[in-house]
Amino acid sequence: MKTNQRSKENKLDIRKEKIIQVAHSFFLKYGYENTSLQMIVKETGGSLATIYELFKNKENLFKQSMQFNFRSFVEEFNAALQDNNITQGSMKDFLNTLGVRILEKITSEQSIALHRLIVIEGYKYPELLEIFKNECVEQSIKIFTQKLQDYQTSKELQIGNLKEYIIFFVNTLISPYLWDSITIPNFKPPTKEEIEKKVNQNIEIFMIYTKIKEQ
């Protein structure tokens, strides 16, 4: 009996994740108002009854799809940084690797669509902004701060307020791109060369701001 119950729950979990992923892609492409539950059912199969059973309504499905994406965003970042041992070189090398990865992710087409959606829907659903702040922004800062802590430990440095420095580095790096990507309809993501140039400029500002001496 318990085995059958677990099997049923596993199937529901798989079904729920598929619905969330499809719903998220539709919300990004068409927006909240122009995405219907019927569109999602047509793509995922099943019935409206299943969606109502799992999510109660469209609004809850929307919020859960956003939350799922925020967590995936952070997990991908964490995995990418774990795969690269970025604490062994110089401080500039460390910041370059971190900065390039941030800008590549932030200026991707999917991230731009997500930022626009958050701005549009955040006024109607304030809790969405809170979820974004807690699940995405705060968790990302936590990961970046830990990486700077790892660097500090490996180099036997005393850098200072690590979280403050990371927030300064990230904000000065991404703010212009975030604003432009939201307000310019035909915004074009920066090229690889432009990203490298921006990151190097930001590193110079960061080194002056923190007064960290190159190792």
pTM of this prediction exceeds 0.95:
no
Q: Domain 1-56, what fold?
A: Arc Repressor Mutant, subunit A (1.10.10)
* Among 100, 91, 84, residue whose Cα is nearest residue 154: 91
| pLDDT of 4 strictly over 70 | no
Tokens at 27, concatenated: 């919300």
Pairwise CA distance, residues 13 & 19, whole Å: 10
**Where do you find CATH 1.10.10.60 in the chain?**
1-56
**Where do you find CATH 1.10.357.10 in the chain?**
58-210
* Among 110, 171, 120, residue whose Cα is nearest residue 144: 171
- Using one digit for the tens of pLDDT, what is the confidence trace for 122-181? 888 888 899 889 888 999 999 889 888 888 888 777 778 889 999 999 999 999 898 899
- Using one digit for the tens of pLDDT, what is the confidence trace for 47-65? 899 999 999 999 999 999 9
Tokens at 61, concatenated: 């499905």
- Kindly report the CATH class assigned to 58-210: mainly alpha
